[in-house]
Amino acid sequence: MSTSPTPRAVLAAAALVLAAPLAAQAPDGPTGLLPWSEQIRVREGWLATRHEMLLPMMRRHGIAMWIVVNEEFHDSPVVPYVAPPRPYTAGRDLFVFVDTGGPTLRKVALTGFSEDNLKRFFESSDEPQPPARVLRELVERHRPATIGLSIGGTRGQTRDLTHESYRWLVDVLGDSTAARFVPAAPLIEEYLDTRLEAEKPHYTAAVAVTERIVRRALSDEVITPDRTTVGDVRNWLYDALWAHGVRTWFQPDLRIQRHGGGLPTSRGFLAVAPESTVIRPGDVVHIDFGISYMGFDTDWQKMAYVLRPGETEAP
């Protein structure tokens, strides 16, 4: 089953009335999120299922061998979904998937360090072997008609192979083999777009935490009219991410609609408000926020009206 892009939602109005100290606080109750070790365990269970789906995908997209390259301090966005979601810190790690023509997919990990957990999913030597030699042997043995690489795509996940790693592959395999290099973008897109039923409860938990954080940000817990700035709210959101043990994939943004205008616009819409902007009674505050958790990214948009003195609800 495949999903549509991450959900975006709008809350018409929320009341901001009382003053409260602006400070990062721990989650006020169970979040439904797993500790990191349990996240890894669950995601590795999904990985076994995903690997079972990969061979038919490779055949659909005409890719006989798929090489995924990870570099130290330049992590491939694909690796956490094709290998155990753990740190990989060699100068260059390779994950190779080979269609041998039979019913099973051959999977080889060429990493700078031996990793016990890799061996549950890949052929992986106790004593790391020279990757150039092993890669040449794989190509010579299986003679793939096409070799898919993370090049040529229109999105970051499909084009993360660096020029240096591309040149290394050409040097190792030779020009005649390099002529068989093809973009793996269609394969990567299908692989990453395909959702598992077991993932749904965890994505639901991520959405719930996103909603919970944003509701708190758009409340008098965080915003004191005529005093709190856009930068204050943004910093609170960063601290809330830390308190919940999650990350984000884009900077939290706030936009302000104000009677009489005067605030900047961009591309026909409200621009992101400067951090020095003070939130006032009568403002409509728009937050764009999301979290990263368990390999999922949420993307949430909410709005709230700041009550004027004497108001009890949004006009």
When comparing pLDDT for 4 and 99, which is higher? 99
When comparing pLDDT for 169 and 89, which is higher? 169
Residue 123 CB: number of other CB atoms within 10 A?
14
Region 208-234: mean pLDDT is: 97
Nearest to 198 by CA among 44, 313, 308: 44
The answer to whether 281 touches 306, Cβ cutoff 8 Å, is yes
* C-alpha dihedral sign at 75, 79, 81, 83: negative
pLDDT in tens, 229-278: 999 999 999 999 999 999 999 999 999 999 988 788 888 888 999 999 99
Contacting residues for 16 by C-beta, under 8 A, at least 6 apart: 218, 219, 220, 223, 225, 304, 305, 306, 307
Res. 23: pLDDT tops 70? no
Res. 45: pLDDT tops 80? yes
Where are the domains positioned within the chain? 1-35+199-315, 62-183
Res. 224: pLDDT tops 90? yes
pLDDT, position 31: 72
pLDDT, position 28: 53
Kind of pairing between the strands at 300-305 and 253-257: unpaired
Give the DSSP H/E element, type plus range, for residue 279: none
Helices and strands (DSSP H and E) totals, the chain: 8, 12
Q: Residue 108 carries which side chain, given as an amino acid letter?
A: V
DSSP state at residue 293: E
CATH number assigned to the domain covering 62-183 = 3.40.350.10
DSSP state at residue 276: T
Structure tokens at 29: 């109750």
Band the pLDDT of 167: cuts 50, 70, 90.
Answer: very high
* C-alpha dihedral sign at 114, 115, 116, 122: negative
Rounded to whole angstroms, the Cα distance separating 228 from 310 reads 20
β-partners of residue 92 are 71
Res. 121: pLDDT tops 90? yes
When comparing pLDDT for 103 and 25, which is higher? 103
SS3 of residue 245 by DSSP: coil
pLDDT in tens, 66-111: 999 999 999 999 999 999 999 998 999 999 999 999 999 999 999 9
Res. 1: pLDDT tops 60? no
pLDDT, position 17: 37
pTM for the model stands at 0.86
Q: Compute CA 1 distance to the chain's CA centroid, rounded to the nearest angstrom.
A: 19
Residue 181 CB: number of other CB atoms within 10 A?
20
Residue 311 CB-density burial (10 A; 0-12 exposed, 13-18 middle, 19+ buried): middle
pLDDT, position 18: 33
When comparing pLDDT for 15 and 129, which is higher? 129
pLDDT, position 76: 96
The answer to whether 92 touches 166, Cβ cutoff 8 Å, is no
Rounded to whole angstroms, the Cα distance separating 101 from 238 reads 49
Lowest-confidence pick of 3-7, 148-152, 248-252: 3-7
Band the pLDDT of 51: cuts 50, 70, 90.
Answer: very high
Region 132-161: mean pLDDT is: 96
Region 39-65: mean pLDDT is: 98
Rounded to whole angstroms, the Cα distance separating 283 from 259 reads 7
Distances in whole angstroms, Cα of residue 78 to Cα of each of 82, 156, 176, 196, 251: 7, 10, 27, 17, 22
DSSP state at residue 59: H
Per-residue DSSP letters for 1-35? -B-PSPP----------S---------SS---PPP
Lowest-confidence pick of 23-32, 212-221, 268-277, 280-289: 23-32
pLDDT in tens, 104-117: 999 999 999 888 99
Structure tokens at 11: 């809350």
pLDDT, position 11: 31
